[in-house]
Each structure stands twice: as structure tokens, then as C-alpha cells.
Amino acid sequence: MINTDKKINEKKIGLFDSGIGGYSVLAELFKTLPSAHYFYVSDDAFAPYGPKSDDFITERSFIIAQALKEQNVELIVVACNTATAASIDRLRVKFPDMTFVGVEPYLNAYYKIPVGLTPAQKKMMVLTTESTGKSERFKRLKERLDPDSQIDHYGLVNLAKLIEDFYYSPNDREQFYKSLEEELAFLKPHRYSFAILGCTHYPLIRKKIEKILNLKTISPDAHIAQRVLALSGGDEAINQNLIPDFYNFFSTKNNIWIKKYRASLLGPFKEIKL
């Protein structure tokens, strides 16, 4: 008889981002596929990816994918919109024996809003980093999923960095809130009803974004987790005794694998009061 609990527990899934943005995806995976072992690479020695060329980001992606392959992961989530746009197609060619799941803005959300809403009630934008917004992959995605240009697009310059910096230096919470207000202030007069979050950093503070802009946010994180679940063999029968307390973390600044408690994943973002 096959020990299915053991089989589930041996699943190894890798994720990477230029920093901690991919934690928004990892948090969903902890809920959706809790028994797997996770290996997360923060490429913080080369962050942010935004100003970098596609070729540079792809080279970094190759190096990280190889490092994750050496950890015997079965599937890699490119948990960064910028890296997905720049490199996922070439990753699939470079590593044909690996499964890759990318992260892209959930642009078909506009056409899934319940019928009966007025145009004002459906008013929607997508927020990305500048780099993602300028990428050919994003442009093609928007042309395909939003052919009637119903969704406005804005590339934010500093938001991802603000979120990253606050995670590691959370002492001045009020200054962080002030900086967020300043970064998003130009969007307030447009009175959007929905904002698609097109960077994995953004969902880490989605409730704060919703409060500042008085709207609802849309993120693909849960859909990504469901996609990973499907590619990993479908629904699992969870044995609580086999759920690890830790995940494996690698910072390219520190160049060493360490174990971190899953419960500490979201750090100061769990404590943001709205």
C-alpha cells in the first residue's frame, strides 16, 4: 500500500523573486498545499529588478533555477511579475525537464465582474512596476485579455521598494504610511472601483491600498496557488502531523540556505492596523 502522506510530504516547490514580494504567493501556497516543502530564493543582491535589462534578469533567473533544481524541487514559481515577463519563456526552453508557473496581472478580472454594475462601479486599473508595464509580454497580455482597453494602466516607481524596505526596517510605521499615501495620491481623483495588483509585493499591503484609494483590490495569488496544486497532483488529504513548521530561505546577499518559521512569513505586514 502506498503511503500517500509520505508522498505528499516529499513535494518540493521552489519560488523566487528579487526580494520578498513572492511571499504573497507563498502565503497562499501554505494554505493551499501546506504539506509541501518550500524553497524560496530572494535575489536581493541584485534587487530591484525594475531598472535591469531583460537579458540580465533572465541570466539571474537561469542561475536561480539551477540552484533550485539542485535542491530537487519539482516545480518553480517565478513569483515576480517582472521576472515572469522577462524570462519565463526562456526558462522553459533552458530547463525543459522543469515545470514553471509564472505570475501575471489578472487582467481578465474585468470580464468576471458581476453583471448589472454601472460603468463607474466597474472602473478598473492595473498597477505594475515600471519595468513590467514596459515589457512586451505585458503589452501582449493586455491586448489579448483587455482588447477594448477597459482597464487603465499605471506603472508605479517606488511602491515595491517601499514595501521591501519596510519589511526589513519596520520601526517607523507612520513614515511608511505617509510614503504610501504620497506614492498613491495621484490615483485618488480617478475614483476607481477596482485595482488589479500587478506586482507580487503589492498584495502584502493590499488592505492599506484599499483604504487609501477606497476600492477593492484583485490579485492572482489564490489562482497561482490553485495552479500549483493542480500541477502537483490535485487535492491532497492533509495530515496535520506532516505539515512542516519551516520553509527554506536563500538570500543572495548572504549566500546560504536557512530555515525560517512559516508563522513569521509576513512579518510586520500581519500587524498593519487599518
Report d(CA 165, CA 204) in Å as an integer: 13
C-alpha cell recorded at residue 125 = 486599473
The residue type of 245 is D
The residue assigned the cell 498613491 is: 184
Q: Is 195 exposed, middle or buried (0-12, 13-18, 19+ CB in 10 A)?
A: buried
Q: Check if 4-103+221-266 and 107-218 are the same fold.
A: yes
Joined together, the cell numbers standing for residue 269 give 505586514
**CATH of region 4-103+221-266:** 3.40.50.1860
Report the pLDDT value the prediction gives residue 1, as an integer from 0 to 100. 30
- Given 77, 80, 187, 197, which residue is catalytic? 80
Q: Tell me how far apart the alpha carbons of residues 40 and 80 are, in angstroms, rounded to a whole number.
A: 12
What's the pLDDT score for residue 240? 61
- Determine whether 80 is an active site residue: yes
Please, what is the Cα angle at 40 between 267 and 63, to 5 degrees? Answer: 140
pLDDT tens readout for residues 80-90 = 999 999 999 99
Q: Is 64 a catalytic residue?
A: no
pLDDT per residue as tens digits for the range 141-187: 999 999 999 999 999 989 999 999 999 999 999 999 999 999 999 99
- Domain boundaries along the sequence of the chain: 4-103+221-266, 107-218
| Low pLDDT (below 70) residues in the chain | 1-9, 234-241, 272-274
Architecture of domain 107-218: 3-Layer(aba) Sandwich (3.40)
Give the pLDDT confidence score for residue 127 in this predicted structure. 97
Catalytic member of 64, 197, 199, 265: 199
pLDDT reported for residue 3: 38
